[in-house]
Amino acid sequence: MNTYYLVRHGQTVWNTLGQTQGHGNSPLTELGIQQAKDLAEALKEYPIDIIYCSDLGRAVETAEIIGKELNIEIHPTESLREMGFGVWEGMPLREIEKIYPESFKMWRNEPEKVQIEGGETLDMIKQRQDKLIEELNEKYKNKHILLVSHSVTVRVMLLSFLESHVRNIYRIKQDNTALNIVEYRNYGPVIMKMNDTRHLKKDKTKGVNKSMSALE
């Protein structure tokens, strides 16, 4: 059975500005690069065999830092992309709330029902994550697989492993470069670790938990 290591990318410029990041992209900050390096060092303790990552720049940049340190080639894929936020892309929370009050209210209270113009739904994210894990489980046996992705995507994956509804998206927190470990066993997936950021150097993480997406 495979073991999965799910991680969110390092801090980005848009994270610090509170701008909505879906399929849009911004580069890692200096702190984000250091977070990725800290995570790479911590991952040396685990027998990582394979690295897959979202094909969006911030995830690729994070994965490349890790892959270089572990000497493992990375495999970018659209399947690990963040949720597409359509017309909300790049917008700060306060602007979304002002311009799209009804859909924003639904996102906060009934996130499973929201349909953002030009964007994806949480159910769409779940379907593509479930398909990816199914494909990886068919392709690999007894491998340790690192998946570098995004906040909403990782949380949806964790909810799916728990057989919990996507409406519970806000009940899981994911900081930048947080480590989650999921072991597949005969009776199904078991979450061994969640949102672990102990690898981050204390003197370098001031404000880290404030760099969340505007939509979290």
Q: Which residues are annotated as a binding site for substrate?
A: 8-15, 58
As a whole number of Å, the end-to-end CA separation of the chain is 32
* Cα–Cα distance, 208 to 176 (Å, whole number): 7
Residues with Cβ within 8 Å of residue 119, at least 6 apart in sequence: 22, 83, 84, 85, 86, 87, 88
**Known binding-site residue numbers:** 8-15, 58
| Interatomic CA distance for residues 7 and 12, integer angstroms | 15
| Structural contact between residues 180 and 90, judged by C-beta atoms closer than 8 angstroms | no
Tokens 């094909």 found at:
55
CA-based nearest residue to 72, from 159, 149, 148: 148
In this structure, which amino acid lies at residue 161? F
- Annotated active-site positions, please? 9, 82
- How many residues appear in the chain? 216
Q: Is 189 helix (H, G, I), strand (E, B) or coil?
A: strand
